[in-house]
Amino acid sequence: MPPVERDAISTRLLSMELLVRIHTHPFDLSVCLYPLVFQVCSQLIFASILVHMRGKYPFRISSTEKGALARPGIYTIVEDVVAVDGGEELKFRQILDARYCSNRPIQILLQRLGWAWGFSGLAVAIALLVLIGMVPNMEASFVIGWIIPWAWAAVLSLLTRSMTKAALACEESAPIT
């Protein structure tokens, strides 16, 4: 079964399980999102710190071997999403690795994106946990809890796009060595 079909089936099964669980034991589902955002963004920041310190991986992460220099967390996300979910597999991993290792503008871009998504995501997750805890109206907290993360993701997506265009322009203007 192709990865895309497997993901679609898994998503449907998880959704059905959540619907049954919420129907039998109601709770504020919007609260589940923020610990996840906090955890993912913390990993992006930790990976960026490792890259900044020129740290090495203590174990294999994705296709990067144990003992290799750390890569930005965004690198791992891009690698896995395109290679696995996009069906490009080993071919894409090799191309991305070669480009990352030989291309300083791409290294800088991925590091900056890791910092941007990591710190902004932590700020949004913490602010929303506090804000939702202070809002007495459950409907209002639900609306806040869903609109703000989508707005954050939209703004950061636009920032990612402009940063990527700038990095590609810098890459094109750089002399080939």
User: Any idea which residue has 């930005």 for tokens?
Assistant: 72
176 in any annotated domain: no
- Provide the residue range defining the domain that includes 158: 33-171
Entry field: residues in the chain: 177
Spatial contact of 48 and 121, defined as CB atoms under 8 Å apart: no
The residue ranges of the chain whose pLDDT is under 50 are none
Spatial contact of 118 and 41, defined as CB atoms under 8 Å apart: yes
85 in any annotated domain: yes
1 in any annotated domain: no
142 in any annotated domain: yes
Helix axes 104-134, 33-52, angle to 10 degrees: 150
23 in any annotated domain: no
User: Rounded distance, CA 47 to CA 22, Å?
Assistant: 35
Look at residue 124 in the predicted model and tell me its pLDDT: 92
27 in any annotated domain: no
128 to each of 37, 55, 152, 158, how far by Cα in Å? 11, 32, 11, 21
Look at residue 177 in the predicted model and tell me its pLDDT: 54
Those residues with Cβ within 8 angstroms of residue 34's Cβ, 6 or more apart along the chain or in another chain:
125, 128, 129, 145
Each residue's pLDDT tens digit, 116-135 = 999 999 999 889 888 888 88
Environment class of 44 (CB within 10 Å of its CB; exposed 0-12, middle 13-18, buried 19+): buried
20 in any annotated domain: no
Look at residue 6 in the predicted model and tell me its pLDDT: 60
28 in any annotated domain: no
Domain count, the chain: 1
